[in-house]
Every structure is written in C-alpha cells, then in structure tokens.
Structure 1
Amino acid sequence: MIVFLIALLVVVIGLVVFAILGHFGTHLEDPTGTSPFESLPRGVVTVEDIEQVRFDQTLRGYRMGQVDEVLDRLCAELAARDDEIAMLRADGTRPVRD
C-alpha cells in the first residue's frame, strides 16, 4: 500500500511540474530571435512593418529606448495621416452621394 501511495505522489508531482512548465495543453510561443533590433523603415509605415518589429529583451521586459523610438515614429505617422485626412475633408473632396 505504501508503495502505491509513493508512486501516486510521484505521478502527481510530475503532473504539477509539467503543468507549471506549460507542457500540458498549451502551445509555447516561438522563441525570440537573436537578430539585432531593426526599427521601422523610413517612409510610409505599413501594417506589415509594425507586425515585424521585434524588440530586444532585457531582465525586466523590453529595451525602453527601442520601444520609445517605435512609439514616437508611430505617433508622427498617425499625426501626419490625421493632418492629411483633415486637409482632404476641408477641400471638400468627399464623394457625392445621390
């Protein structure tokens, strides 16, 4: 009886360890590549450009300078697009509906 309880305890501990490590029922994220950080390209920023941005990881997350650089660039792009939309609306270039 005691051998059965010890075996059961070993199995339960093994299941708990596997669950904690994420080997049960979950898919692990792709590992972060070791390629150097590449900021957004010059010119118009596309959705694909944003999806491909990967930041270097540090002890507590991502490198703040890299994140700040990308966020500043995205803010500038959004402001430029907002200005262009406002200019187009002011010119009355909206399509006429019947």
Structure 2
Amino acid sequence: MEWFIAAVAVVALGVAAVVAAGGGGSMAKDPVRDTYAMTVSDEPLDAGAVRGLRFGVALRGYAMDQVDAVLDRLAAELEARDARVAELEAQLAGTGRSEVER
C-alpha cells in the first residue's frame, strides 16, 4: 500500500511539473481584462451621462486607464464648450447688446 501511495505522489508531481512547464497548453495571446469594461457612447457627455458613469474596480481602486480616458474626453468637451461660449459672447458684444437686453 505504501508503494501505491508513493507511486501516486510521484505521478502527481510529474503531472504538476509538466503543467508548470507549459505542457498543458499555452497562455492566451490577448491580455485578459479582469475589471469591468465600461462602455461610454460617442455622443457628447451631458450631466446625466457623467452621473451614470461606473468605473471598474481594480486592485488599488478604480481602473486608472478607464478614468483617464473619460477625464481626457470631458476636458476636451469642456474646452470646446468654453470656446463656443467665448465665440458667442464675442458675437454678442459685437452686436452692442448688453446683458440686460438678453
């Protein structure tokens, strides 16, 4: 009986060594995402869309790549809106209308 247990242990160690050496297959070529993959539409973000954002939680907090991507997009959209507001205010100032007349 002792020989049988020893033989089973040797076979188990051999199988473990073969699997550890890659004999059981190969790793996936594409990286595996282990965080929630958030999808954001390509439409301009409004207040409701921003309030509805949910980021994947990673080991050290939120998934930084997701947060960075959304913050970059928000910054670009805010810059575009600020430029448009400044353009409209310049047009309004050029027409001679005051704020009271609006």
Q: TM-score, normalised by structure 1?
A: 0.56
Q: Aligned partners of 2:36 and 2:64: how far apart in 1?
A: 18
Query: Over aligned residue pairs, what C-alpha RMSD do you find?
Result: 2.2
Larger radius of gyration between Structure 1 and Structure 2: 2
- Normalising to structure 2: TM-score of the pair? 0.54
Structure 1 segments of 4+ aligned residues over 2 angstroms from their partners: 93-98
**Structure 1 stretches lacking a partner, 5+ long:** 1-33
- The residue identity in structure 1 corresponding to 2:100 is R
Structure 1 residues 83, 57: closer, same or farther in 2, change over 3 A?
Answer: same
In structure 2, C-alpha distance between the alignment counterparts of 1:66 and 1:80, rounded to whole Å: 21
The answer for the alignment partner of 2:100 in structure 1 is 97
How many Å separate the matches in 1 of 2:68 and 2:99? 42
What residue in structure 2 maps to residue 64 of structure 1?
A: 64
The number of residues matched between the two structures is 64
Structure 2: runs of 5+ lacking an equivalent: 1-34
Contact 2:36–2:55 (Cα < 8 Å) also in 1: no
State the match for 1:38 in structure 2.
39
Q: How many percent identity over aligned positions?
A: 41
